[in-house]
Each structure stands twice: as C-alpha cells, then as structure tokens.
C-alpha cells in the first residue's frame, strides 16, 4: 500500500511514473467495466420483468379459468407458464452464468490492472479531465468535495 492510498487529497492524483497512454488505457478499461455494469443491470431488469410477466401470466390463467375458458387457461399454463427462457435456463441462471463467466473475472482483471499500474487509484483519467475542464476559483468547480479539503 502506498503512502497516499488512504489520503483523499491524493486519491485521484497520478502516481509518479504513470504516463499519459497508461492513464488513457486505464480510463478506457474503466469505461468498459462501467458498460459491463450497465449490461449486468439490464440482465437484472430482464430477470425481474420476465419473472413479473410469468406471475401475471399465472393470474391470467386463473382469470381465464374463472371466466369459463379452461382450454385457453390450460394451454397458457402448459405452454408458457414457468417456461425456460432459453433451453434449460430461467433468468436467474443466466445471471449466475454471466456473473461467474464474465462479470467477476472482468472486475478482478480491472482491479488487478489498476493496482499494478496506478497503485490502486481509480478514475485517474476522469480526475484529470475534471481538472482540465473546471473553472478555477469558481465555487461550483471544486477540486474535491469540501470534506476532503480539511
């Protein structure tokens, strides 16, 4: 652990010896992982929406029976209710496979790269972009949050 790792004032400062191409590569890696996080969120949305649809279908099956349409209720129940979304998989199994096969290895790789190349400091690219784009001496363009200034 380096001397500044726990120091908020240095958390986003480029470690000595880290060049521009490395900072750019780390920024790109971070963006790729952030996109993966969003994709994972969409998988959870898919999971919840599909589950909600299946529960609502169960209600429709019950209502079809109550309305005297037992044949349609039986067909919906047999053909769709509780059906695999892809062969052998419900949505929770897709999420588990994604997490095990892609998401967790990506998170571990990103953390390893940042630890090895930037002393564990996240968002160097973004921090430098903030510094370059902010208006100095403007109260809404602070270098860091007020708690970090003390």
In a domain, 149, yes or no: no
Q: Which residues contact 136 (CB under 8 A, 6 or more apart)?
A: none
> What is the largest distance, in Å, between two alpha-carbon atoms of the chain?
76
Q: What is the pLDDT of residue 141?
A: 64
Rounded to whole angstroms, the Cα distance separating 81 from 75 reads 9
In a domain, 3, yes or no: no
| Contact assessment for residue 91 and residue 50, using Cβ atoms and an 8 Å cutoff | yes
Q: What is the pLDDT of residue 35?
A: 98
Domain count, the chain: 1
Rounded to whole angstroms, the Cα distance separating 24 from 28 reads 6
In a domain, 12, yes or no: no
In tens digits, the chain (150 residues) has pLDDT values of: 444 455 566 778 888 898 989 889 999 999 999 999 999 999 999 999 999 999 999 999 999 999 999 999 999 999 999 999 999 999 999 999 999 999 999 999 999 999 999 988 888 878 777 877 776 777 676 666 677 554
* DSSP bridge pairs for 68: none
In a domain, 9, yes or no: no
The owner of tokens 């599909």 is: 50
Report CA dihedral (69, 70, 71, 73) to the nearest 10 degrees. 90
In a domain, 29, yes or no: yes
In which domain, by residue range, is 85 found? 20-134
């Amino acid at each position: 652990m380096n001397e500044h790792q726990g120091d908020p004032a240095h958390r986003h400062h480029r470690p000595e010896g880290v060049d521009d191409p490395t900072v750019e590569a780390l920024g790109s890696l971070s963006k790729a992982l952030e996109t993966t996080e969003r994709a994972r969120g969409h998988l959870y949305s898919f999971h919840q929406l599909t589950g909600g649809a299946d529960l609502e279908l169960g209600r429709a099956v019950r209502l079809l029976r109550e309305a005297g349409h037992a044949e349609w209720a039986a067909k919906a129940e047999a053909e769709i209710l509780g059906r695999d979304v892809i062969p052998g998989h419900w949505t929770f199994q897709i999420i588990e496979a994604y997490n095990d096969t892609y998401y967790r290895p990506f998170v571990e790789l990103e953390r390893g790269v940042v630890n090895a190349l930037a002393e564990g400091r996240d968002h160097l690219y973004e921090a430098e972009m903030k510094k370059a784009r902010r208006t100095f001496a403007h109260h809404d363009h602070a270098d860091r949050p007020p708690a970090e200034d003390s």
